[in-house]
Amino acid sequence: MISSDTEADSEIWALEEAVWRMHSEVCDQCGKCSSACPVSKEIEGFNPRQLVTRIALGHINEVLDEDAIWTCTTCLKCRERCPEEISPYNIILALRNLAYRMGLNYPIGYDDFINGILERGYISSPHSVRTRTGERVTRITLELPEPSVPMKMNAFKGNLEEILRVGSD
């Protein structure tokens, strides 16, 4: 375990300790989290079970240096399928927050994601969706108006900026 006086090291230690306890006391290595994960089916090397195990073994810095934490789609299937109710998603989310606070690199698209929310109140303009029957529909084909900016966009933007500021302190 890492021990230091810095806030980041304190967070790392707390995360490692929590994961180690959870992993050693609860996880039976069944692999249901990984078999449910859509990313692990498409990207070789992404494995929620192994990620949790690596954190439990104290390899947090190596995990933070890799792209694995940014590859997760946050679908929560790992959490749904786990018979022990362990959530690799929660660990990945904590690792993402820690990486950001430590100033580590994160995907370029994340800036666009945050800026889209700050400017419009949503990530990007919806283009089309597929219905249950397979048909593609758009706002135009459904005769819906264009999406609008939230009525209290300035308040929304201010609140979100405050959350981002507090999160980076």
The pLDDT-based confidence of 60 (bands split at 50, 70, 90) is: confident
> 53 to each of 76, 83, 84, 137, how far by Cα in Å?
18, 17, 15, 43
Strand ranges for 4-149 from DSSP E = 129-130, 136-137
Q: What is the pLDDT of residue 124?
A: 64
- CATH architecture, range 7-101: Orthogonal Bundle (1.10)
Residues of the chain with CATH 1.10.1060.10: 7-101
Q: In the Cβ-directed half-sphere of 71, how many Cα atoms lie within 13 Å?
A: 19
For every residue of 113-138, DSSP letters joined together read: HHHHHHHHSSSS----EE-TTS-EE-
pLDDT confidence band for 2 (50 / 70 / 90)? very low
Tokens in use for 134? Answer: 């397979």
| Rounded Cα gap, residues 40 and 34, in angstroms | 6
What is d(CA 15, CA 56) in angstroms, rounded to the nearest whole number?
A: 9
pLDDT in tens, 29-47: 889 999 999 999 998 889 9
pLDDT of residue 47: 93
Q: What pLDDT is stored for residue 88 in this prediction?
A: 87
Task: Give this prediction's pTM.
Answer: 0.63
Provide the pLDDT for residue 1: 38
Q: Each residue of 96-114: pLDDT tens digit?
A: 888 887 888 888 777 777 7
**pLDDT at position 40:** 92
